């Protein structure tokens, strides 16, 4: 067990340092990095994913590369432009509806991203469930204009019922993320016809094989996205994307770019807008460099013990 602590390049999802645990096994390393506010029950599927990876229990790939988007945090327009230009991707996912910011801030960011990508690139936005139905409808229209056409908008509202209502009122496709990975019933999105795209994240949903079952049953096009992992965790997302029968959209797996360091010899970073399908090699020097302080190690050891204690035997 190795606890890592890596600063972020930019505040993202409200955090400035990414922490987690690497677990070793017969098949290699797996990453367990549930966000700090998650309780033991929420963190349990994340552990199943790490254990699956450490056991080497991944399905065979059907492709050798996975197209990816560059992720743009809720930075100013100039910063967004620079991130996209440096990202090496033809698709950009832009965070919007950040607390303390305005729709005007979001429009400026999206316009800058469109300028950086050029007319042929794809722009998608992610509101993380921040809007109510009316605000979502108005904001989507404004951002669609700013982008010169959005590919889709991810999780505009928190409730699945609200997603369905928004989907009936806008022309931009709707993607569901939290409504799948944090829902008691991930298939309610399908049953209510609330989304056009399913966003799947391997750690929150319990691993690659669990996600493949959801993808088959939910009956929607799938985008595989990250939970802000190191390259060890990203490799599990890549394994899922590589095993899906169809992959019509770029995936949100290029987020190692948001970290200031990594735990492997060669990070999973996009080349020509895609990630290679491989398992990166953990680097002992990097493990030492990114090792958490003793108090944070104790925190993660206690969290891990709580999850293992509470789950069924």
Catalytic residue, candidates 93, 201, 279, 303: 201
Name the pLDDT band for 312 (thresholds 50, 70, 90): low
Q: How many CB atoms lie within 10 A of CB 112?
A: 23
- pLDDT of 112 higher than 70: yes
In the block, residue with structure tokens 């991944």: 58
pLDDT band for position 12 (cuts 50, 70, 90): confident
* pLDDT exceeds cutoff 70 at 284: yes
Per the rule left: phi > 0, alpha: psi between -120 and 50, beta: everything else, 277 is beta
> What is the model's pLDDT at position 14?
86
Tell me the DSSP string of 126-137. Answer: E-TTB--HHHHH
The token duo for 6 is: 């890596």
Query: Residue 210 has what pLDDT?
Result: 96
Please compute the mean of the pLDDT values over residues 19-28 and round it to a whole number. Answer: 97
pLDDT of 296 over the 70 cut = yes
Averaged over 257-277, what is the pLDDT?
Answer: 96
93 noted as active-site residue: no
**Residue 203 pLDDT exceeds 90:** yes
Whole-number Å distance between alpha carbons of 171 and 23: 44
The residues near 99 (Cβ < 8 Å, ≥ 6 apart) are 130
Beta strands in 35-137 (DSSP E): 65-67, 70-72, 91-95, 122-126
Q: Single out the residue of 51, 136, 90 nearest to residue 251, CA to CA.
A: 90
The catalytic position among 18, 48, 95, 124 is: 95
Element (H, E) at 43: helix 40-55
Interval 181-192: pLDDT, tens: 887 888 999 999
**Structure pTM?**
0.94
* pLDDT category of residue 26 using cuts at 50, 70 and 90: very high
pLDDT of amino acid 29: 97
Mean pLDDT to the nearest integer, 156-165: 97
pLDDT reading at 301 higher than 60: yes
pLDDT band, very low/low/confident/very high, at 11 (cuts 50, 70, 90): confident
């Amino acid at each position: 067990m190795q606890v890592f602590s890596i600063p972020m390049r930019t505040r993202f999802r409200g955090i400035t340092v990414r922490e987690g645990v690497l677990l070793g096994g017969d098949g290699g390393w797996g990453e367990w990095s549930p966000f700090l506010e998650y309780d033991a029950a929420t963190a349990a599927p994340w552990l199943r994913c790490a254990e699956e990876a450490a056991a080497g229990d991944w399905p065979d790939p059907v492709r050798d590369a996975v197209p990816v988007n560059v992720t743009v945090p809720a930075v100013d327009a100039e910063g967004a432009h620079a991130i996209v230009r440096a990202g090496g991707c033809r698709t950009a996912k832009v965070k919007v509806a950040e607390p303390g910011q305005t729709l005007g801030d979001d429009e400026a960011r999206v316009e800058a991203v469109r300028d950086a990508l050029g007319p042929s690139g794809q722009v998608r936005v992610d509101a993380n469930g921040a809007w109510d139905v009316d605000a979502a409808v108005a904001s989507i229209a404004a951002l669609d204009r700013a982008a010169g056409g959005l590919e889709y908008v991810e999780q505009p509202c928190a409730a699945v019922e609200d997603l369905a209502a928004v989907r009936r009122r806008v022309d931009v496709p709707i993607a569901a993320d939290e409504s799948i990975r944090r829902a008691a019933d991930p298939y309610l999105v399908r049953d209510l016809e609330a989304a056009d795209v399913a966003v799947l994240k391997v750690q929150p949903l319990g691993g690659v094989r669990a996600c493949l079952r959801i993808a088959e049953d939910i009956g929607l096009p799938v985008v595989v996205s990250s939970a802000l992992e190191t390259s060890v965790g990203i490799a599990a997302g890549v394994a899922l994307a590589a095993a899906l029968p169809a992959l019509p959209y770029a995936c949100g797996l290029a987020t190692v770019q948001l970290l200031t360091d990594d735990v492997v010899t060669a990070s999973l970073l996009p080349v020509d807008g895609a990630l290679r399908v491989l398992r990166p090699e953990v680097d002992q020097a990097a493990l030492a460099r990114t090792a958490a302080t003793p108090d944070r190690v104790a925190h993660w050891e206690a969290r891990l013990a709580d999850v293992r204690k509470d789950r069924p035997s």
